[in-house]
Amino acid sequence: MTSRPTTSTLSHTGQVLSRAVTFQFAVDPNAQQRILFAKCAGARRFTVNHHLARVKGNLDVRSAEREVLGEVGESPEPSTSSLSWAAFSFINEFNSWKNGESEDSPVNEDGTRGLCWRHELPGDVFECASVDAARALENFSASRRGERSGAPVGFPRFQAKGKVTPSFRLRNRATSVRAPSSQPIRFTDPSHLRLPRFGPVKLFGPTRKVRRMIYLGRFHVYSATLTQRAGRWTVSLTGVAAKLHQAERSRASRHAVPVGVDRGVISLCVAADANGAPFESFEGVKTLKQAQASLKAANQALARTTPGSKGRQRARSRLAKSHRKVVNTRRHLVHQASRSLVDRAQVLVIEDLNVAGMVRNRRLARSISDAAMGELSRQILYKARWHGVEVRVVDRYFPSSKTCSGCGDVKTDLDLSTRTYSCWACGLVIDRDLNAAINLARWQPKEPSTVTLLELTRAALLSTA
> Applying CB under 5 A, what is the total number of residues that bind Zn ion?
8
Q: Which of 265, 301, 428, 456 binds Zn ion (CB under 5 A)?
A: 428
Q: Is residue 407 a contact point for Zn ion (CB under 5 A)?
A: yes
Q: Are 410 and 403 in contact (CB under 8 A)?
A: yes
Q: Which amino acid is at 83?
A: L
Of the chain, the end-to-end C-alpha distance in Å amounts to 49
| Catalytic option among 132, 262, 280, 375 | 262
Indicate the residue among 370 and 409 with the shorter CB distance to Zn ion: 409
d(CA 114, CA 419): 65
Q: Is residue 454 a contact point for Zn ion (CB under 5 A)?
A: no
Q: Is residue 426 a contact point for Zn ion (CB under 5 A)?
A: yes
d(CA 383, CA 281): 19
Give catalytic status of residue 71 as yes or no.
Answer: no
Indicate the residue among 338 and 457 with the shorter CB distance to Zn ion: 457
Q: Is residue 461 a contact point for Zn ion (CB under 5 A)?
A: no
| Closest distance of CB 147 from Zn ion, Å | 44
Distant-in-sequence, close-in-space partners of 107: CB < 8 Å, separation ≥ 6: 113
Q: Are 61 and 80 in contact (CB under 8 A)?
A: yes
Long-range contact list for 408-414, CB < 8 A, 24+ apart?
408/454, 408/455, 408/457, 408/458, 408/461, 410/454
Q: Are 271 and 351 in contact (CB under 8 A)?
A: no
Give catalytic status of residue 124 as yes or no.
Answer: no
Q: Is residue 59 a contact point for Zn ion (CB under 5 A)?
A: no
| Closest distance of CB 275 from Zn ion, Å | 17
B/e letters for 17-48, b = 16+ CB within 10 Å, e = fewer, are: bebbbebebebebeeebeebbeebbbbbbbbb
Give catalytic status of residue 433 as yes or no.
Answer: yes
| Closest distance of CB 410 from Zn ion, Å | 10
Q: Is residue 406 a contact point for Zn ion (CB under 5 A)?
A: yes
| Closest distance of CB 428 from Zn ion, Å | 5
| Closest distance of CB 324 from Zn ion, Å | 45
Q: List helix spans (H) across 106-172.
A: 123-144
Indicate the residue among 380 and 404 with the shorter CB distance to Zn ion: 404
From the list 97-105, 213-221, 380-388, 426-434, the region that binds Zn ion by CB under 5 A is 426-434
From the list 74-82, 96-104, 207-215, 403-411, the region that binds Zn ion by CB under 5 A is 403-411
Residues that bind Zn ion (CB under 5 A): 404, 406-407, 409, 423, 425-426, 428
